[in-house]
Structure 1
Amino acid sequence: MAEPLTRVDSAVQGLSESPPKEKISHRRTSSSAAGIQSMKELNENQIEIDVAVESQATGWKINTSPSTVEDKELLKKPLITPLVRAIDLRFDTGVVVTARNNKHGVTIKDALDAIYKQNKKRADDELVEPYLKGFEWAPNHPQLKDNPAKRKEEWERLHIHLSSTPGVSSSGGSKKKKNKHAE
């Protein structure tokens, strides 16, 4: 009975300490692409932004998929310059949605996707102004030029402007207007 055990218990014998564990990094390197800033950084450095002219008067209906926009190249263009990872989009009703794209910067499609996600379950008769008229960066508004506190508050968001008519579209908008006049 005094004999030592002959069977080796691998959990106890032969290992003085547990094997070193490799650190698993969950941070993706592609999520922090170079040249893309945050709206907070732009605000801190007082870097003014420009909204893409192509995003104005698309004729897009906010409760339809962005894939219904006829000009597919338009969807790939950046919403604003300089490029940002995320931007808040504010409706006149006070509702705020966020468009995000960490890899390439927020595109027009990203903004339309965020707006669509908010409005996809709404029926046409629920929407007083169902068409996207465009986006406005409020600090550029003449009324805010002389109000630094309000200008700083509005720096990190775009305002969404809607319309009751489709507006000017590169193609397809005139068809809708013809149908409207025919009724």
Structure 2
Amino acid sequence: MAAEVQEHTSADLSKVDSAIDDAPASPTESKIKHRRTSSTVSGVFNINDLEKENVELKIAPETQKLNWKINSSPSTIEDKEVLKKLLTTPPIKKIDLHFPLGLEVTARNLKGVTIKDACDAIYKAYKKRADDELEAPYLAGFEWDREECYTRFIVHQKKTGDVVSSGSSKKKKAKGGEEE
């Protein structure tokens, strides 16, 4: 009786065990299924493809006017609309941002890298640094030197932030308690 049960169990297992099944998978099953095809947007390019086609990139000029301290959150940038703008024309999926001292970070967005994506990538690298550790803590903008390296931008920094008009003085007054 015990031999009969044991024989029955091994027969059931062989039917379930996928290692025993030698039948080839159908062509539709063998295709690799990507998880996020819907998040890819048409009109957004891979920078390597643009390099092969020798396409000229244009960096958004707004990056030079951000007046943003790289070790503070990008949410501290006053003009929130600028953050939504694409970093380049034509839009790209990712870009390496190279700092003069050798650090390199990558900004990615399958819908097109925005100024916020670039700021987020920089902030992630610098958020734990104190102000006195940074020689030039403000973002001055990006430079693209297609001869040196097509697939990366050089990050420029400056020692002081620009004096901003009345928008930031209200915050300073509110912090000082002079304004209600």
Could you tell me which runs of 5 or more consecutive residues in structure 1 were left unpaired when the two chains were aligned. Answer: 140-150, 177-183
1:12 correspondence with 2:2: no
What is the aligned-residue RMSD (CA, Å)? Answer: 3.3
Q: Is the 8 A contact 1:167 1:173 kept in 2?
A: no
For 1:101, the aligned partner's letter is N
Query: Structure 2 residue aligned with 1:78, among 86, 99, 114?
Result: 86
Mapped partners of 1:156, 1:50: distance in 2: 13
1:111 correspondence with 2:118: yes
1:161 correspondence with 2:156: yes
Deviations 1:114-159 (A, max 9, x none): 10011001000011111111111123xxxxxxxxxxx1x4211111
3-state secondary structure, aligned to 1:115: helix
Task: Report 1:132-147 matches (<5 A).
Answer: 132-139=139-146
1:180 maps to: none
3-state secondary structure, aligned to 1:138: coil
Please state which structure has a larger fraction of its residues in helix. Answer: 2
Higher relative contact order (CA 8 A, sep 6+): 1
- Number of residue equivalences: 163
Q: Is the 8 A contact 1:166 1:173 kept in 2?
A: no
2:57 maps to: 49
For 1:106, the aligned partner's letter is V
1:66 correspondence with 2:99: no
- TM score, norm. by length of structure 1: 0.74
Deviations 1:68-105 (A, max 9, x none): 11111111100011011100111111211100001x11
Could you tell me which runs of 5 or more consecutive residues in structure 2 were left unpaired when the two chains were aligned. Answer: 172-180
Mapped partners of 2:91, 2:9: distance in 1: 56
Mapped partners of 2:89, 2:166: distance in 1: 26
- TM score, norm. by length of structure 2: 0.75
Mapped partners of 1:45, 1:168: distance in 2: 41
How far 1:168 sits from its partner (Å)?
A: 5.8
How far 1:44 sits from its partner (Å)?
A: 0.9
Identity across matched positions, percent: 52
**Structure 1 residues 174 and 100, CA gap change in structure 2 (3 angstroms):** same
How far 1:33 sits from its partner (Å)?
A: 2.2
